[in-house]
Amino acid sequence: MSALAGKRIVLGVCGGIAAYKAVEVCRRLVDAGALVSPVMTRDATRFVGEVTFSALASEPVRTSLWDAPEPIPHTRLGQGADLVLVAPATARLIGAYAAGISADLLTATLLATRAPVLVCPAMHTEMWEHPAVQENLGTLRRRGVHVLEPASGRLAGGDAGAGRLPDPADVVAAAERLLGPRDLEGVRVLVTAGGTREAVDAVRVITNRSSGKQGYAVAEEARVRGAQVTLVTTVDRPVADGVEVVRVSSAADMERAVLPRGPSTDVIVMAAAVADFRPKAPPERKIKKDEGPPEIVLEPTHDFLVDLGRAKPPGQVLVGFAAETDDLVANAAEKLRRKNLDLIVGNDVSAPGVGFEHDTNAVVILGADGSRQDVPLAKKTDVARAVIDAVVAIRRRGT
């Protein structure tokens, strides 16, 4: 049964061309068993007729504070909602919500609810990238609002770029995650993300192509499911309020951040791409170009995941990642055994659309108990859900 079954969802629809996709979002929510209360802004009715949502939803559409028999409809909607979902969310709506301005029924409902809120921005690329929009979204994230970032693709007017409303199936899947199980309530989870940077001199570094997207997706999945999350990261990406962020740069920095926290952590997910080698004795100054190409001597970094495996306290779940280009399963299984892990997530980063810098991934999850789960090419949020599901299964077996 879907996590949406029996849940009351206020579906807010703003005035953007992507409003036509909200019709399919509404249908999918109802098909999943949700009770949908549609709220349209006046501008939204310029793109889609009110009767369309009234026919598909669980009750007639609302467009105004003044068109209902009850005197305070926004309070009723806000208090009765299990989730408020805004798709599409325009720059105007995002700005008003961040500023606390109740200009219409939808913004008043957003301010009147204590339910989870999911906003799905959709707008032209230039608007999406404008500092004011990004700052407003940052404000909302810090307040605990969930943001489903737009996709890239063809936009109105024939342009292409970021700002496209994700497919309705992805919007509904995000809603399901928010209303899904809170099976990590109170559990302390540490996640690492990004690629470490190892100094060549005072200016230059050796690094890898890790974007941190997979680690951030794991951290967000754990947070949504109730965990107390610490994210140790080398990259600067948006993160929801409530996640403790520890910023590091090198493998040694990450080791110093992770090892002291290890004994008091229930789950550790090492999703970061930690360098295997670093330049030996880098100078503290910039090497000048006219000095000629420097001779860089590399030395191994310390594999502190091995230390975590050796010192793993009873009941802790330790998860490693293995980015490979050949013999994926064999190499991942060897690391699983050698590092005393409970799970290892392996991916073949030479395959199209997999791993570094992509929004998608394809992995195999191997367990110390001999289990194996193959996750075919999917969004990194879906991979994160599979990883956390595997973690939860181990914890349940241990209780």
- Catalytic site positions: 208
Report how far residue 163's alpha carbon sits from residue 150's, in angstroms, rounded to the nearest whole number.
Answer: 5
Q: CA-based angle 143:149:150, to the nearest 5?
A: 145
**Distance between CA atoms of 216 and 210, rounded to whole angstroms?**
12
Contacts of 391 (CB under 8 A, 6+ apart): 267, 269, 317, 319, 343
Please tell me the distance from the alpha carbon of residue 156 to that of residue 148, in angstroms, as a whole number: 20
Cβ-Cβ contacts under 8 Å for 131 (sequence gap 6 or more): none
What is the 8-class DSSP label of residue 260? Answer: G
What count of other Cβ atoms lies within 10 Å of the Cβ of residue 268?
27
3-state DSSP assignment of residue 155? coil
CA 95/CA 256 separation, integer angstroms = 40
Q: How far apart are CA 223 and CA 395, in angstroms?
A: 17
